[in-house]
Amino acid sequence: MDGHGIEAVSTEMELLEKDQDTEKPKKVKGSQKIHKRPEWANKAEFVLACVGFAVGLGNVWRFPYLCYKNGGGAFLIPYFVFLLGAGIPLFVLEVGLGQYLSEGGISAWRISPAFKGVGYGTTIICFWLNIYYVVILAWSNLYFVFSFTTGPLPWSTCNNWWNTDKCFVIHSNTTGKFQSDIVDSTVEFWENRIQKMSTGIGDFNFINWELALSLLFSWIVCYFCIVKGVKSTGKVVYFTATFPYVMLFILFIRGVTLDGAWEGIVYYLSPDMSALLKPQVWMDAGTQIFFSYAIALGCMIALGSYNKFHNNFLNQCYFICLLNSATSIFAGLVIFSVLGFMAKVMDVPISKVADSGPGLVFIAYPRAVAEMPAAPVWSVLFFFMIFLLGLDSQFVGMEGFM
């Protein structure tokens, strides 16, 4: 090849490189890129990190309760309307924005002066989310530790130092006691042993050292999960984002084999179409989508920013959204199969044992587990699953915040 040919090829390659460079956006004004932004080692790390953050406690303790409260199977109609109309589009928007700009939750929104405040607002929300979410990890740690026993679970009896004269257990004789004056042993364990609640505003208790140390342990675990940025986070999520599904499946098998499980599942999914006429049902569906998909927290922008620029994130987002919603529905089967069993044991309607939030995870479910054969085993599995679900959301949220 003569000199002119070599020069022509060289010029063509330079032009090609320029064209590729122009595909990438210029840096957002106000951002300072000191070094090259780290990237996920592979696509699986990004997907698992998003799954770990989005699939959390809300799938286990919030969605099942909202579903049965708002018309059972009928609730899935407004749920999927908001999912297709808002959840998936906004999820894709945040991931795509982060990947395109390679910026975090604050600087990415500087793409337009009108959106500058959005980044600060979402970061503040993410900050408060990290503060309260880690407390739930501390609670689950203590329940996990207390589950290691060769005898009955500690919340299933009334002969402990934290119990009061009002304490009662299922099947116990409450003759001579007013029904309004008795307290379930599970509730007393939650209030008097785990939280050590004071009697009122004038009662200043000492520091709950068990809970404080459990909280410290949770922060330390989160620190080691993100100590090397996406390099460590990307490796940790291989376990923390997948193992809860193993636990959930094991608990599902155990749940559906219990007496009364089918009644609980039917109660969970039986459609009441008249509920669709209530505005509150649609509001609950919308808020659940935003809560479950971590919309407007800035964390999905941060996770997307670690992708390669030409990564095909669209199919990944569709898969994450499908898995998230499927997990919510499946978790409801797990929870209500056990609640159906509990309702049959207590001989009460399922509505009397169903609850949401901490009441479901730390009172209703432990009460039901205590009635199962080999109760400590199922309790250990359940609270380890709760810890991993919360841990994922916590340390990925911290990664997104920083």
pLDDT (tens digit per residue) in 210-225: 999 999 999 999 999 9
d(CA 342, CA 361): 14
pLDDT per residue as tens digits for the range 29-66: 555 454 578 889 999 999 999 999 888 888 888 898 89
Higher pLDDT, 14 or 283: 283
Strands 183-184 and 167-168 turn out to be parallel
Question: Topology of domain 37-401, per CATH?
Answer: Amino acid/polyamine transporter I (1.20.1740)
392 assigned ligand-binding residue: yes
**Residue 143: what pLDDT?**
96
| Cβ neighbours for 363, distance < 8 A, ≥ 6 positions apart | 184, 186, 187, 190, 355
pLDDT at 313 over 50: yes
If you ran DSSP here, which 8-state letter would residue 115 be given?
Answer: G
pLDDT > 70: percent of the chain: 87
How many Å is the Cα radius of gyration of the chain?
25
- What's the whole-number mean pLDDT along residues 259-279? 91
**Residue 128: what pLDDT?**
87
Q: Which two tokens stand for residue 174?
A: 């409450």
- pTM for the predicted model, two decimal places: 0.85
DSSP string of 205-230, one letter each residue: PPP-HHHHHHHHHHHHHHHHHHTTTH
2 assigned ligand-binding residue: no
379 assigned ligand-binding residue: no
Poorest-pLDDT segment among 59-73, 179-193, 251-265, 324-338: 179-193
Poorest-pLDDT segment among 194-203, 259-268, 310-319: 194-203
**Residue 20: what pLDDT?**
46
Mean pLDDT taken over the chain = 85
pLDDT at 16 over 60: no
Helix (H) or strand (E) holding 388: helix 375-401
In this prediction, residue 295 has a pLDDT band, given cuts at 50, 70 and 90, of: confident
pLDDT at 1 over 60: no
The domain spans of the chain are 37-401
pLDDT at 93 over 80: yes
Q: Which two tokens stand for residue 40?
A: 């996920």
| Cβ neighbours for 78, distance < 8 A, ≥ 6 positions apart | 276, 281, 282, 285, 286
- What's the whole-number mean pLDDT along residues 320-345? 92
In sequence order, the β-bridge partners of residue 168 are 184
pLDDT at 202 over 80: no
- What's the whole-number mean pLDDT along residues 107-120? 86
54 assigned ligand-binding residue: yes
Higher pLDDT, 34 or 392: 392
pLDDT at 23 over 70: no
393 assigned ligand-binding residue: yes
Q: Go through 99-126 and write b for each residue having 16 or more CB atoms within 10 A of its CB, e for each that does not.
A: bbbbbbbbbbbbbeeeeeebbeebbebb
180 assigned ligand-binding residue: no
Q: Which two tokens stand for residue 106?
A: 């604050």
DSSP string of 307-333, one letter each residue: S-TT--HHHHHHHHHHHHHHHHHHHHH
389 assigned ligand-binding residue: yes
| Cβ neighbours for 200, distance < 8 A, ≥ 6 positions apart | none
Residue with token string 């698992």: 48
311 assigned ligand-binding residue: no
Calculate helix-pair angle for 230-240, 243-256, nearest 10 degrees: 20
